[in-house]
Chain A
């Protein structure tokens, strides 16, 4: 079966750095997405990785290791507005998106 694992919830302090991990087991791999979803709102696109390595975009970075079936989202200089759920999703061999359940990130002052 296809499976994507993320921690259910994480807590971090404003101004700090947090790393949200995602491991996946899918039938094929055609890319990995990270989305942000604030409570009561729609998911919004954050990043896309298809090759191994780190993609940096401002305060957010995303890393991929295809051989390990592993990705992480790194958030720096945390702000209160970063409190949200972060969804990991993988495009499988049929180009269908398989979604993780999401990680709820709580930022404390």
Chain B
């Protein structure tokens, strides 16, 4: 693995179902992020983690949860999916937690459709 991987690539989900989007990085980055990207809107931060064992809420956290048990993995869980959660989800990581020159590197994204 080189960089960030996400799984699945795409998913169609029935409303009310539980879903976990997976994200793994092999760059030993401290910070990780989950964004959603919707047409006409900028990337919106859902949750973040500055270091393993800690997480924080972003701009649009409702309906989502995360965990950061180790440095490499940062799964995003939708406890009970709703159609408004239809979106493209990007996981990203950066070397440090919020430094001003902290470039974020993105995974390939998961396209999620909730029906």
Contact = CB atoms under 8 A, between A and B. Distances in A.
B41 A101 contact: yes
Interface residues of B, number: 20
A60 interface: no
Majority secondary structure of chain A interface residues (helix, strand, loop or mixed): loop
A45 B103 contact: yes
A7 to B, nearest CB: 13
A102 B42 contact: yes
Contacts of A79: none
Nearest to B56: A96
Interface stretch (B68-76, B77-85, B94-102): B94-102
Interface residues of A, number: 24
B43 interface: yes
Contact of A31 (B41, B42, B101, B106): B101
A4 B42 contact: yes
Given A89-B42, A91-B102, 9 more contacts: A42-B108, A43-B43, A95-B98, A95-B100, A95-B102, A96-B58, A96-B98, A101-B42, A102-B42
Interface of B: 40-45, 58, 90, 98-109
